[in-house]
Structure 1
């Protein structure tokens, strides 16, 4: 076997190794981290229907609004994680938070709620010697802490951080972008009346010469207006009309190019069509013509066959049809 063949085999094996490293394996459409998170939530959801008090039945669902932060918010987070895998074009964020960010907040808040209940129970037991709450709060506290590990600390754990590697980069939401520097407000310019007003403070203190004369000022003699009279004669009627020269036919008004006229476009390679904040909506390629409904100069407004509309910012080498 020659050296060239050895180099080719090595390149093939290296490419296969990179592909295996980039690939992500899991259970069906879900990653290992997502399956573990769903399992933790499922156990916590079932345990939440047991009584949290000793002596009388009262689950977290019947304790006023405690159920919202204790179990309902993590339930919504897990539902969004499952929906993201089953429907990639569905809900992609909650406000300015991504689905994983919302899940981190949800399990962190729920863990704090259950730790607060544990703290109150231990404090009451130390003072009175009796346990007021059941085993449910301990199990729920441990499960929510496990949810925090699977969401907040998952990018730091070797087994779980593969779920965050190789994700495509997208523009951040405007609420998640770096803040702008605050500039000092400019000083207020003095008004014209304040700038032109004379300063009499020096004359009042006696440090300057005599004050200017402020006595009455005689008004100038009145001048009688003169009225100029003119005689207006009635205009004579005309039996002829003057010809008006029409503008030259060689001068044509400038016509702005119509950018709102739809046309077909064909791109040389596959390109992303994004929404207003830069999230990819769909892709167009060289195998099919795309319908452009508006030309905005630096971007095209493209409409998909199913009715979705997005923006194509890379309009170089586009063939118009």
Structure 2
């Protein structure tokens, strides 16, 4: 047994201990579900080049852009599944969908398109009495439905469910997170009308008003002191002023202790994988060198590699902090 085989066996056993799941065996780097799905797509891809019309030769590749949804999108989904195994650092999602989610959508849409063709063919045969399309549409419909079973319902099938067990939990994409609650918009407050000069006349005291100089009338309604108001002693002016202590305007509020996330060095007791957001290994850290942890999230560490790559260490048991 070579050293590469020993390292591969060690990685399989370590992954089994880390996920607490039995090791998954398949065909080379692919799981059994992925191999079966690729075989179903290969048969559908070959059959798509046959004619779907009885009268003349017309395949999905020669009938406009019908090939995009019938066989093109499933082809892209299978290509991404293969690329995920052969190149973990390649494309890992399509928009906010993971590769498996995109494959489920692709085969579901293709099944509906082939079902539409079958439905139209049966309806035309009932009305006109002959079949306008060939056996290709029936075979393609069955193959796409098998693809739906291998993608949408694979987690419920005992033979294929191990492909989804033991996967590392990662933060969800922004578009896949729960939605925020929508608060009702506050009602607009009516603006107060600006006072009019005629409104002040309603509050004028009744009875004859004392004659005022022309200048006083122009300035405004300043009432003359009456008998009631003269009962109070007039306020005497002062030539000196006493300083009045006022609170300082430079008083600063008490500073609250800021909570900062300090980076630290960590040493793991054995080699462990540092994965990205969807669980694909980015690099490994081992007991021979310290790793820089830039954020401690409790159940996981955010680790920065020497070359700048950043990943998540989910197994934080037995880590020595430096």
Structure 1-normalised TM-score? 0.65
Q: Distance in 2 between matches of 1:180 and 1:62?
A: 46
Write out aligned runs for 1:24-39 (5 A). Answer: 24-39=24-39
User: Aligned partners of 1:30, 1:300: CA distance in 2, in Å?
Assistant: 29
Whether contact under 8 Å (1:268, 1:318) holds in the other structure is no
Q: What is the aligned partner in structure 2 of residue 134 from structure 1?
A: 134
1 CA distance for matches of 2:290 and 2:44? Answer: 51
Tell me, yes or no, if the aligned pair for 2:20 and 2:166 is still in contact at 8 Å. Answer: no
CA distance in 2, matches of 1:79, 1:286: 37
> Structure with the greater relative contact order (CA < 8 A, sep ≥ 6): 1 or 2?
2
TM-score scaled by structure 2? Answer: 0.65
Partner of 2:119: 119
Q: Residue 32 and residue 174 in structure 1: after superposition, are their counterparts in 2 closer, same or farther (change >3 A)?
A: same
Aligned residue for 1:282, secondary structure, equals strand
In structure 2, the CA distance between the partners of 1:61 and 1:272, relative to structure 1 (3 Å rule), is same
Q: CA deviation at 1:218?
A: 3.5
Measured at CA, do residues 27 and 109 of structure 1 come closer, stay the same or move farther in structure 2, by a change above 3 Å?
same
Deviation of residue 212 (structure 1)?
A: 4.5
- 1:302 matched to which residue of 2? 304
**Residue of structure 2 in register with 1:288 after alignment:** 289
Alignment partners' CA distance in 1, 2:71 and 2:168: 31
Aligned to 1:149: 149
Hey, what's the Cα distance between the residues in 2 that align with 1:135 and 1:23? 42
In the TM superposition, residue 44 of structure 1 has moved relative to its aligned partner by 0.2
Change (3 A) 1:76 1:49: same
Query: Structure 1 residues 40, 300: CA separation in 2 closer, same or farther (over 3 Å shift)?
Result: closer
Please list every run of 5 or more consecutive structure 1 residues that lacks an aligned counterpart in the other structure: 1-15, 204-209, 222-258
The 3 A distance-change label for structure 1 pair 311 and 136 is: closer
Contact 2:124–2:132 at 8 Å: present in 1 too?
yes
Aligned residues: 246
Note the C-alpha offset of 1:312.
Answer: 7.4
Q: Secondary structure at the match of 1:130?
A: coil
Gaps of 5+ in 2: 1-15, 205-215, 221-259
Q: Distance in 1 between matches of 2:296 and 2:165?
A: 36
Matched-pair contact (CA < 8 Å) for 2:272–2:286: yes
Q: For residue 161 of structure 2, what is the aligned residue in structure 1?
A: 161
RMSD across aligned positions (CA) = 3.8
- TM-aligned CA deviation for residue 30 of structure 1: 1.0
Contact 1:81 1:100 in 2 (8 A): yes
